[in-house]
């Protein structure tokens, strides 16, 4: 529960414009869970009293939060915290955290499991491991969070030489920078396919969904710069939490 103590002292200690300070204060309270998704924010009058500023200043801060998608307004009812919705522009190859940070979101991950295993045939074929049924891979399962709300289950498969170093790494962020900066693997292109479906039992458990809830299913095969497939992923997003945006050119 948020304290009702005025925030004036915080504002006085910063050289930033007042509306920017207020916006950042409210943003942090949204990100740290002080204000939960769909929770009503204090009224403009209450925020004016707490921060000791004009209503115009409060409205500017709220307008910026609205433009960033962190809050929404209901006519005659006030402002509410938006449920996080990730929008990823498909223009370049980037990780979930990289894309979300550029939009001002906090993106993290929780490792469900990481293990060496013998994969199914579709994984062996995608990673070009040959016909040997004994070929192993490293499987990484993670839940991805947006503003601390679970939005996707991510299941990734790596050839052993690529995946084994991940056992010793912090996987709470994107794996792409680890592959590039720590393993020295230059990333190239990726093939992406998108489908819609219903949440299976594993997705239901990790994302708190029911069997009737829709999910966006993304399959992504990433290659290094030489064309070798190094990362085969299945991403399951809750249906109301993610949007892919494409930019295409007729040429």
CATH number at residue 76: 1.10.10.10
Task: Report residue 165 as tokens.
Answer: 């170093």
Taking the C-alpha atoms of residue 207 and residue 97, their distance in angstroms, rounded to an integer, is 18
In this structure, the answer to whether residues 32 and 45 fall within a common structural domain is: yes
pLDDT of 18-53, one tens digit each? 899 999 889 888 877 788 888 899 999 999 999 889
**Backbone phi and psi for residue 73, each to the nearest 5 degrees, phi listed first:** -110, 145
In this structure, the answer to whether residues 98 and 151 fall within a common structural domain is: yes
Q: Please tell me the predicted confidence (pLDDT) of residue 143.
A: 95
Share of the chain above pLDDT 70, in %: 82
Neighbour count for residue 133 (Cβ, 10 Å): 10
The three-class DSSP label of residue 109 is: strand
- The yes-or-no verdict on residue 85 having pLDDT over 80 is no
Taking the C-alpha atoms of residue 171 and residue 115, their distance in angstroms, rounded to an integer, is 13
Which helix (H) or strand (E) element contains residue 62?
helix 55-67
In this structure, the answer to whether residues 190 and 241 fall within a common structural domain is: yes
In this structure, the answer to whether residues 103 and 61 fall within a common structural domain is: no
Question: How many domains is the chain built from?
Answer: 2
Q: Please tell me the predicted confidence (pLDDT) of residue 68.
A: 73
- The yes-or-no verdict on residue 112 having pLDDT over 80 is yes
Per-residue pLDDT, averaged over 137-159, amounts to 92
Output Rg (C-alpha) for the chain, integer angstroms: 22
Which of 81, 112, 128 is the last residue in one of the domains?
81
- The yes-or-no verdict on residue 144 having pLDDT over 70 is yes
pLDDT of 183-207, one tens digit each? 899 999 889 898 988 999 999 999 9
Distant-in-sequence, close-in-space partners of 241: CB < 8 Å, separation ≥ 6: 83, 84, 85, 86, 146, 149, 151, 152
């Amino acid at each position: 529960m948020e304290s009702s103590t005025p925030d004036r002292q915080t504002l006085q200690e910063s050289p930033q414009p007042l509306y920017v300070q207020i916006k950042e204060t409210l943003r942090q309270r949204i990100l740290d869970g002080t204000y939960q998704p769909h929770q009503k924010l204090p009224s403009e009058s209450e925020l004016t009293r707490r921060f000791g500023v004009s209503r115009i200043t409060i409205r500017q801060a709220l307008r910026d939060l609205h433009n960033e998608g962190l809050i929404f307004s209901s006519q005659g009812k006030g402002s509410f915290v938006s449920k996080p919705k990730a929008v990823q522009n498909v223009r370049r190859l980037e990780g979930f955290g990289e894309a979300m940070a550029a939009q001002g979101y906090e993106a993290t991950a929780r490792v469900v499991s990481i293990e060496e295993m013998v994969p199914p045939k579709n994984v062996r074929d995608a990673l070009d491991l040959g016909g040997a049924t004994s070929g192993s891979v490293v499987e990484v399962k993670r839940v991805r969070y947006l503003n601390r709300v679970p939005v996707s289950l991510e299941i990734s498969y790596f050839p052993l030489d690529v995946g084994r170093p991940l056992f010793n790494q912090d996987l709470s962020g994107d794996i792409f920078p680890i592959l590039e900066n720590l393993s020295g693997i230059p990333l190239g292109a990726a093939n992406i396919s998108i489908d819609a479906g219903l949440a299976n039992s594993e997705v239901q458990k990790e994302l708190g969904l029911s069997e009737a809830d829709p999910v966006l299913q993304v399959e992504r095969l990433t290659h290094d710069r030489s064309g070798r497939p190094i990362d085969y992923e299945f991403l399951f997003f809750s249906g109301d939490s993610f949007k892919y945006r494409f930019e295409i050119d007729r040429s």
